[in-house]
Structure 1
Amino acid sequence: MFDTLTLEKYADVIIWGLQKGRSKAFAKSDFILVNYDHEALPLAEEVCAQLHDRGLIPIHRALPTPRMEYDRYTKANNKRLSTLTPGDKDLYNHLNGSISLIAPSSLTHLASIDPELLNLVQKSRHPLRQIMNTREQMGSFGWTLCMYPTQALAAQAGLSLEEYARQIKLACYLDDGTPTHKWRLLAKQIEALREELTSLGNCTLRVESDSVDLLLKVGERRIWAGLTGRNLPSFELYVSPDYRTVEGVYTSNLPSFRSGNIISDVRLEFKQGRVTAMQAAHSEAFVVKQLNLDEGAARVGEFALVDKRFSRISAFMANTLYDENHGGTWGSMHIALGNAYNNTLAGDVTAYDEELRRSLGFNSSILHWDLVNTERKRVTAILKDGTRKTIYEDGEFTL
């Protein structure tokens, strides 16, 4: 799908993102896990080669095929589904980084699987996520993920494979002679915006569009985040708000795929920080189950805005990584139901125990589900002194 030069550029950008996602520099012989779908093998090979060139140790691991995944859920009992592979905890305790290359051969093969089984597996991997989170907070672990074009993705997005690949090249600036340099320059621009947003403090945000009328407070002890290197491409500026303050109506007008289900036109009503009413054009029963995964699943864990001047993504891509970074005509926004992001807490995140997080309205859940709106909109910040300031309009930040 990509020629040799493009693969080399892409791998270089991915490793730049991995390094940016860490607070400490990599040391020689650090272990980097490279998870990849089999269709991304050409990119996985190049990534591993460049990791070796940098003195790091890649641990390559092919992800299960669609049949392997389907057979697991239909043939294994609950005990086997929830059993961690021997050695995984030890591996994760020694990992210094993780790269995931997403290239699915199917997006719908798990559509018939009981969501409770999917949730069982997700919950069983919580100990591994805890290890990664702890190591990340210590500065000894970083991660990133990216996409590789496949026919399955292109078909669900309604694009040709060639156009889908072109969207990836544009989004990651792989058509540029030195894309990593381009990402460094972009990171400086986003950092300047991030600092301005953070300087607004615990303001109230009012979001208005044809189908959105939402109020929320940023929250105490919050900072905005952007272009952390964890997702490539990434153009969003985001914060984990005080979930208790979310009020109003939010509609996601861009479809999303989750666990083999396509979900579209989700309309949510919030009162006192919780979803109190929901409608969806497709897979409404699935959405209900997602909202009931745990106590925090029906609360907001993230609020994000994307500036169309940064993002060259102009098509529906049938994958959240790209769709949550949609640029297009009017930019985009998204909220995420479920878990909040630690990197939006100010200061040393290890100082925030569960009691303190709860007191700050910082949400916790096994769910994190991004729901995207691409309509023309205005976002107004209402500052503590009552001053109103438009911070985003017609797809661009106005700071």
Structure 2
Amino acid sequence: MTFQEKLAQFAELAVKVGVNIQKGQTLLINTTTDTIEFTRLVVKEAYAAGAGRVTVNFSDGEIDRAFFDNAPEDEFAKYPRWISEQRDELIERKGALLWIDAADPDLLSGVSVSKLSAQQKAAGKALANYRNAVMNDKVAWAIIAVPSKQWAAKVFPNVEADKQVEALWEAIFKTVRIGEGNAVENWQGHLENLDTRAAILNAKRFAKLHYTAPGTDLTIELPDKHIWQTGASKTPENTSFVANMPTEEVYTMPSKYGVNGTVSNTKPLVFQGNIIDDFKLTFENGKIVKAEAGVGNDLLQELIKADEGSKYLGEVALVPHESPISASNILYYNTLFDENASNHLAIGEAYPTCYEGGSALSPEQLEEHGINTSITHEDFMIGSANMNIDGVLADGTVEPIFRNGSWAF
């Protein structure tokens, strides 16, 4: 298969499996100037699949950095209303959203934590309706990624400079199952396998999970009506979509006040263009009571202070250590990939869809049921070949879920 054939399959995959565009449906693409050639393929593929109108928002890394370096201080506490209004209109029209990421992991390195925090809070408030739509699967949405020169150099520093982008392209193709046969058909089989895992976990009805690994001894209670899900979701109109490509996870929500113990990360977290690494979190009754990081500690402290919900967990995700991304031994410095190489948790908001009837609950009702709400949702990786996870049933029976980083069933 030639490089151009792989690109064409990737564009088709994003449109037909990722957002699964419907006849006459509006599509909004958010991406960067690094992706323009590939984005053109996606736009053409979307129209060929029957999209009504495709709109593309391009950002640029240097321009984004210039904002943080040069804008007046009071601008960081503001967020453009036209951005939220564009997304609100798309939600009203039942459109689809696609992100094509090519971000430089170090883009905002050195920017003051106060600026980053102020902008995060402003965006969180302005995009509340959008966040609610995404977290509740009210619209089809998907995130994919393609290489930029800066990102490729970060991932492959020992490869010749003129071959780094090519190397990252090939690595990405493998993670999204492009290169052998029909990618759309490959994904159908992959999602069926994940659904089988989720069905087993849903049948078990575990009351809690117990994680043990070097630097980790953590117990997570699960709500009575929790639901294990996979990367395949459905809108209220019963349109299927895959939010993350790649995806290797089976996930659910924790009980907000039922997390106790300590957990250590095993891969760096890229947050707001900066790296947070070598960190440990301590929980008491769900709340983070201690957080320490060897790299990016100030930013970690701001992350967990973004709002009250940022001090609690919102997601529990299981990924075997031998997943294709993990087996590649590539550190992507991009959560979309690295979270699918490792068991992970998320600080902040829970997906209401992981609770029976959760999408119909108000914020107050979510709190009553122990479901966390927040302006944040940041995944961080904790899995390794040394991690064991036990499931504890309501009667106290303990059953293995993971042994040495892999499924025990």
Q: TM-score, normalised by structure 1?
A: 0.89
User: What amino acid sits opposite 2:334 in the alignment?
Assistant: N
Instruction: State the distance in 2 between where 1:137 and 1:38 align.
Output: 27
Instruction: State the distance in 2 between where 1:140 and 1:256 align.
Output: 28
Query: Is residue 84–residue 124 contact of structure 1 (8 Å, CA) maintained in 2?
Result: no
Give the equivalent residue in structure 1 for 2:365.
356
Deviations 1:288-317 (A, max 9, x none): 111111111121111111124553442110
CA-CA distance at 1:131 after TM superposition: 3.2
Deviations 1:312-347 (A, max 9, x none): 442110101000001xxxxx2111111111221213
In structure 2, relative to structure 1, the CA distance for the partners of 1:195 and 1:78 (3 Å cut) is: farther
Instruction: State the distance in 1 between where 2:269 and 2:375 align.
Output: 18
Give the equivalent residue in structure 1 for 2:237.
none
Instruction: State the distance in 1 between where 2:142 and 2:168 align.
Output: 21
Instruction: State the distance in 2 between where 1:340 and 1:186 align.
Output: 25
In structure 2, relative to structure 1, the CA distance for the partners of 1:109 and 1:391 (3 Å cut) is: closer
The 5-angstrom pairing of residues 244-255 of structure 1 reads 244-255=257-268
Q: Which structure shows the bigger proportion of residues in helix conformation?
A: 2
**Residue range with higher mean Cα deviation, 288-297 or 181-190:** 288-297
Instruction: State the distance in 2 between where 1:139 and 1:377 align.
Output: 31
Structure 1 counterpart SS, 2:82: coil
Deviations 1:80-137 (A, max 9, x none): 4414243751553235101111112x33232232333323333333466433355558
Query: Is residue 30–residue 56 contact of structure 1 (8 Å, CA) maintained in 2?
Result: yes
Give the equivalent residue in structure 2 for 1:47.
42
Is residue 2:311 matched to residue 1:298? Answer: yes
Is residue 2:134 matched to residue 1:116? Answer: no
Structure 2 counterpart SS, 1:233: coil
Is residue 2:189 matched to residue 1:185? Answer: yes
Is residue 2:376 matched to residue 1:367? Answer: yes
Deviations 1:206-251 (A, max 9, x none): 1111221110111122101112210100111111100211111100
In structure 2, relative to structure 1, the CA distance for the partners of 1:135 and 1:294 (3 Å cut) is: closer
Instruction: State the distance in 1 between where 2:136 and 2:22 align.
Output: 15
Is residue 2:7 matched to residue 1:7? Answer: yes
Give the equivalent residue in structure 1 for 2:339.
324
Instruction: State the distance in 2 between where 1:58 and 1:393 align.
Output: 48
Give the equivalent residue in structure 1 for 2:349.
339
The percent identity for this pair of structures is 20
Query: Is residue 142–residue 244 contact of structure 2 (8 Å, CA) maintained in 1?
Result: yes
Give the equivalent residue in structure 2 for 1:394.
404
The 5-angstrom pairing of residues 197-346 of structure 1 reads 197-228=201-232, 229-308=242-321, 310-313=323-326, 314=328, 315-326=330-341, 332-346=342-356
Give the equivalent residue in structure 1 for 2:235.
none
Structure 1 counterpart SS, 2:211: strand
In structure 2, relative to structure 1, the CA distance for the partners of 1:263 and 1:27 (3 Å cut) is: closer
Instruction: State the distance in 2 between where 1:111 and 1:191 align.
Output: 39
Which residue among 31, 34, 43 is the counterpart of 1:36?
A: 31
CA-CA distance at 1:139 after TM superposition: 6.5
Q: Which runs of 5+ in 2 are unaligned?
A: 233-241
Give the equivalent residue in structure 2 for 1:329.
none
Instruction: State the distance in 2 between where 1:153 and 1:344 align.
Output: 33
Root-mean-square deviation (CA, aligned residues, Å) is 2.3
Q: TM-score, normalised by structure 2?
A: 0.87
Give the equivalent residue in structure 2 for 1:153.
151
Instruction: State the distance in 1 between where 2:153 and 2:128 align.
Output: 35
**Residue range with higher mean Cα deviation, 157-166 or 363-372:** 157-166
Query: Is residue 248–residue 340 contact of structure 2 (8 Å, CA) maintained in 1?
Result: yes
In structure 2, relative to structure 1, the CA distance for the partners of 1:193 and 1:47 (3 Å cut) is: same
Instruction: State the distance in 2 between where 1:239 and 1:339 align.
Output: 12
Instruction: State the distance in 1 between where 2:291 and 2:83 align.
Output: 42
Structure 2 counterpart SS, 1:279: strand
Query: Is residue 19–residue 97 contact of structure 2 (8 Å, CA) maintained in 1?
Result: no
Deviations 1:6-29 (A, max 9, x none): 111101111233346xxxxx5422
Q: Which runs of 5+ in 1 are unaligned?
A: 21-25, 327-331
Structure 1 counterpart SS, 2:59: coil
Deviations 1:31-69 (A, max 9, x none): 100112111112211110110001103433343212211
Give the equivalent residue in structure 2 for 1:379.
389
Displaced runs of 4+ in structure 1, greater than 4 A?
Answer: 78-81, 133-140
Deviations 1:130-187 (A, max 9, x none): 3335555886621001110223222223453233222211101111220110110111
In structure 2, relative to structure 1, the CA distance for the partners of 1:370 and 1:137 (3 Å cut) is: closer
Instruction: State the distance in 1 between where 2:209 and 2:136 align.
Output: 32
Query: Is residue 253–residue 315 contact of structure 2 (8 Å, CA) maintained in 1?
Result: yes
CA-CA distance at 1:275 after TM superposition: 1.4
User: What amino acid sits opposite 1:388 in the alignment?
Assistant: V
Instruction: State the distance in 2 between where 1:138 and 1:274 align.
Output: 24
Instruction: State the distance in 2 between where 1:171 and 1:97 align.
Output: 23
**Residue range with higher mean Cα deviation, 365-374 or 209-218:** 365-374
Instruction: State the distance in 2 between where 1:119 and 1:297 align.
Output: 12
In structure 2, relative to structure 1, the CA distance for the partners of 1:311 and 1:388 (3 Å cut) is: same
